[in-house]
Amino acid sequence: MKKVNRVKRNEDFQTIFKNGFSSANRQFVVYVNPQQQQDHFRLGLSVSKKLGDAHLRNYIKRCIRHVMMDFDKDQLISQHIDIVIIARKPAATMTFHEMKASLEHVLKLAKVYKHRSK
């Protein structure tokens, strides 16, 4: 994932938490903040140390990034958004395909993702 598509600074995270809205399911919490100043979406990830050791946390983050890159640009409602995904405890025991289904579900709840009909 390119640097321009990442939320890295604490100030950016705090702005998204303060000004955005959230949706959640059992495995993930998603904060969404619409931005008009940018022409691309940005993604921030938060995986707590409570979920496991470093290699498990990195695996969860890699899976989330991979799922978000798999979504086509036309599947996201708007390209002008900041998204922060927080992984909850049940995410530590999920497979990649379960994470993908769960992320699709929570992004649909947040009205950020539309399923492309084939």
Helices first, then strands: H and E counts in the chain: 3, 4
Query: Structure pTM?
Result: 0.88
Q: Is the pLDDT of residue 118 over 60?
A: no
Distance CA 91, CA 100 (A): 11
Give me the pLDDT at residue 39, please: 74
Q: In the chain, where are the structural domains located? A: 3-109
Q: Which fold has domain 3-109?
A: Ribosomal Protein S5; domain 2 (3.30.230)
Indicate the pLDDT class of residue 73, thresholds 50, 70 and 90.
Answer: low
